[in-house]
Structures are given as structure tokens and as C-alpha cells.
Amino acid sequence: MLSPALNERLTRIGPGTPMGTLLRRYWYPVAAVSELGRVPISRRLLGEDIVIYRDGTGRLGCIEAQCPHRRASMRYAVVEEEGLRCGYHGWLFGRDGQCLDQPAEPADSTFKERVRAVTYQAEELGGLIFVYMGPAPAPLLPRFDLFVWDNCLRDIGHAMLPMSWLQVMENSVDPHHVEWLHGHYMNFVRDLAGDPRAKVLARKHEKVAFDLFEYGIIKRRVLQGMTEEDEDWKVGHPLVFPAMLRVGGGGHYQFQIRVPVDDTHTSHFWYSVYKPDGEYTVEPQESVPLFTVPFQDEEGDFLVDFVDGQDIMAWASQGPIADRSREHLGKSDVGVIMLRRLFQEQLDRVAEGEDPLGVVRDEATNECIVLPQEKKKFGAGGAFRSEFLTMGQGRYSPIAEQVLELFERVEQQGASV
């Protein structure tokens, strides 16, 4: 368990808080590129309201949500060549926040030179728009492999979740829940619904381990019937510090990105890349499609007939911020304990003026950062792909048919060789 004071230190992320200061050292996705047209879009990140836009030259901008003049919303501003002009009184702000024009002020006024809006850096990568809210100089936006691979298909699932991002990340180092929540409990849910699908094989975790590496933690496991020669142990998959998990297999690889919106909300992206082994060519996508992943029914009950829905139920049912002072952790919770200690260590590093774990500043290593990943997660990569593509109850990737056709084509070519 944690003391109430330490729980507060780890979960409060607003400006000026220790955790907020740490988290501001990283880039976060706030929207899909496909969402942004001529009209600015509003978002909330790390307890601050921001507006994202693309100026007349095509460059991305990120500005505080309210105009410094009379606090009207910049979401309803006019996009111009040089920046964003407030719709209320026409004050124009450049991408660096400097006020460039105040139409109602005297022509010889220097007032505009003394007004500057808060702005942040924004960049796009792999179909997502990322924002950095920390101190200068900004680190590089990490070019992790899934964001930059070619000859593949991509889609982006999204949900706004009603709980602290930390609850979601702790789940990422809690492997024992897989055999219970996604095994025994899944079978119970299917039995209640009369689901004809075969029961999930809930294999026991015989051994788990967590190894620190330059971008976070590598998770390893040996399931019943496996050995340390299997990929689940020999390769494993990473938690990318501070707010991302990589999972997948069988040609479907996925980043689960847990963006800290504020203390009690998490913007969750499922960033999927479909890249089967074999010889094939995929036409480049014009844009990466975005779709919503529902997690509650009309009555507000959690949808627990699919893996990610079960996870969301478990995260949210702990409350908006879990009361960790009332926990009883055991030896099986070694990963959760390790992650909490890692966050405390990184809080101390930032307080001492150092870069925290995983910050990227070397251009030479940032062309494509390859992360370790099993190719056959639990020996059933195809099952993982099918789970996310066709989850039922209207949860359906917009490119599911295209993805399934690609894998069928590759498999047929392999069978004919």
C-alpha cells in the first residue's frame, strides 16, 4: 500500500505538481491528423486546456484555449497565414504566442508587443498529432517503429476514460490478471450470454519478470506449458515509460497510449499496425482512420465481452483515483511495485535537473527506434488480431475487411510456395 501523501504525489498531474512536472518532459498524442481541418480543435492535456490548429502555411500550432484579451475561446478563432485570430475582437497570435495584431487599438500602439499567449510545440507522426508542454529545449518526438514503418495498414481506436492514467499503466505490469480477467472471467461472461465460442484457455503464469531498459520496462512471462525458450520470456514486450504499452503478435502490433488528460481522465489510443510476414505490397493510406471504442452500454454498465472492455472495467471500478492506502499487495504484484518505485526515481531525477528515463535527444538514434516484441503473443497472434478487429456490438475497425483481406492474401501466397 501507499501512504495518502505518496498516492497524491503520484497521481496529481496539474501544472506545478511533481508528477505533472515529470510528465511534461514527454510528448503525447492529443488527436488524429484526420480530425484536423480548417477549424481548430480543442483538447485537454495534463490539466490544461489547449487548442490545436494548422496555419495557412500548413504548420501545426498549439495555443492556450482562451484568448489573453477577454478570455474568449480560441477554438472559435480564424486560421490565418501567420497564426490564429480570435473571433471575438480579432487579436492575431503567431505560432510562438506573440500577439501580432490588435485591430481596435491605435495604429501607433505598441500594446501588442507586450501581449503573448501560452503556446506549446506540436508535431505529427504516423497519423497522430503530438504536443510537448515541458521546458526548452524540447526533446525529440520519438520515432518508434510502429509510427514509421512502411508497407503496412494502420488504424486508431480511441476512448476517453474516467480514471487516472496511473491505474491504466499499473495494469500493464500486472500479468496475472490476464489468466483471470481475460480467461476465467471471460468464460463466465460468455457462458452467461450463451456465446457459442470455445472457452478461453486460462493458462497459469508459472514465472514473470520485469527488466529495466532504456525506454521503460520489458515484461516477460512463462505460462503453463511453455519454457524460457518461448518468445513470451525470451523476447517479451515493453512498457514504454511513462504512458505507453506495446502488445500484439501475428502481424498485428499495437501501441496502447494512455494520455494523462487531468487527474481523473485518460485519453486512450489503440494505435494498431497490420504488417504480416511475407511478400506483398500495400497502397499507402491517404489518412489513418480514427474510430471510437465504446466501453459502456446505454445503462452505463461496462461492456465486458471483450478484452479491452474488461480492462477498462477493472481500471474504472477502482474509482477516479484509486485509494492505494487501502490496498494489500502480494508477491505477485512485483511489477506494480517496480513501476511505482520507477516513477519515484524519475521524479527525483527531474527535481535534480536531469532528463528522465526514455527522453530522446540524439537524432542519429531517432530515425527508427525498434522496440522488442513477441511475434506470437501467447502463441496466438491471429487471435489477438481478430479480437480487436471484430469485437461485436458495433465495435469494429473501419478497415477490418481490408486488413483481413491482406492477411488472407499473404497466407495464401505462403501456402502456395
The predicted-structure confidence for 229-277, as pLDDT tens digits, reads as follows 999 999 999 999 999 999 988 899 999 999 999 999 999 999 999 999 8
Instruction: Give domain status of residue 337, yes or no.
Output: yes
Provide the phi-psi class of 383: left if phi over 0, else alpha when psi is between -120 and 50, else beta.
Answer: alpha
Mean pLDDT of 167-194: 95
Is the same domain home to 108 and 162? no
| Each residue's pLDDT tens digit, 293-340 | 999 999 999 999 999 999 999 999 999 999 999 999 999 999 999 999
* Domain stops at, among 97, 132, 167: 132
Is the same domain home to 152 and 235? yes
Is the same domain home to 91 and 164? no
Mean pLDDT of 102-109: 97
Percent of the chain at pLDDT > 70 equals 94
pLDDT of residue 25 exceeding 70, the answer is yes
Identity of the amino acid at 182: H
Query: According to the model, what pLDDT value does residue 379 have?
Result: 45
Query: According to the model, what pLDDT value does residue 383 have?
Result: 59
Mean pLDDT of 17-43: 98
Residue 389's pLDDT band, with cuts at 50, 70 and 90, is low
Q: How far apart are CA 78 and CA 40, in angstroms?
A: 8
* Domain stops at, among 132, 161, 186: 132
Report the CATH number that the domain containing residue 254 is assigned in CATH: 3.90.380
Query: According to the model, what pLDDT value does residue 385 have?
Result: 63
The overall average pLDDT reported for the chain is 93
Alpha-helical regions (H) of 295-399: 307-316, 334-351, 381-389
Residue 386's pLDDT band, with cuts at 50, 70 and 90, is low
| Each residue's pLDDT tens digit, 140-153 | 999 999 999 999 99
Q: Which residues contact 354 (CB under 8 A, 6 or more apart)?
A: none
Mean pLDDT of 89-101: 98
Instruction: Give domain status of residue 22, yes or no.
Output: no
For the chain, counts of helices (H) and of strands (E): 11, 20
Is the same domain home to 64 and 188? no
Residue 31's pLDDT band, with cuts at 50, 70 and 90, is very high
Mean pLDDT of 26-32: 98
* Domain stops at, among 104, 132, 160: 132
Is the same domain home to 126 and 256? no
Is the same domain home to 224 and 315? yes
Q: How far apart are CA 245 and CA 339, in angstroms?
A: 13
Instruction: Give domain status of residue 270, yes or no.
Output: yes
- Count CA atoms closer than 13 A to 202's CA, side-chain side: 14
Q: How far apart are CA 173 and CA 192, in angstroms?
A: 29
Q: Which residue has the higher pLDDT, 310 or 413?
A: 310
Query: According to the model, what pLDDT value does residue 198 have?
Result: 80
Instruction: Give domain status of residue 350, yes or no.
Output: yes
Total of domains in the chain: 2
Is the same domain home to 165 and 121? no
Residue 412's pLDDT band, with cuts at 50, 70 and 90, is confident
Is the same domain home to 62 and 206? no
Instruction: Give domain status of residue 9, yes or no.
Output: no
Mean pLDDT of 348-352: 98
**What are the backbone angles phi and psi of residue 405, rounded to the nearest 5°?**
-65, -40
Is the same domain home to 302 and 340? yes
Report the CATH number that the domain containing residue 86 is assigned in CATH: 2.102.10.10
Instruction: Give domain status of residue 252, yes or no.
Output: yes
Mean pLDDT of 193-210: 90
Is the same domain home to 88 and 172? no
Is the same domain home to 98 and 233? no
Is the same domain home to 149 and 127? no
pLDDT of residue 382 exceeding 70, the answer is no
Q: Which residues span the domain enclosing 403?
A: 145-416
Q: How far apart are CA 19 and CA 132, in angstroms?
A: 15
pLDDT of residue 394 exceeding 70, the answer is no
Instruction: Give domain status of residue 8, yes or no.
Output: no
Instruction: Give domain status of residue 347, yes or no.
Output: yes
Q: Specify the pTM.
A: 0.95
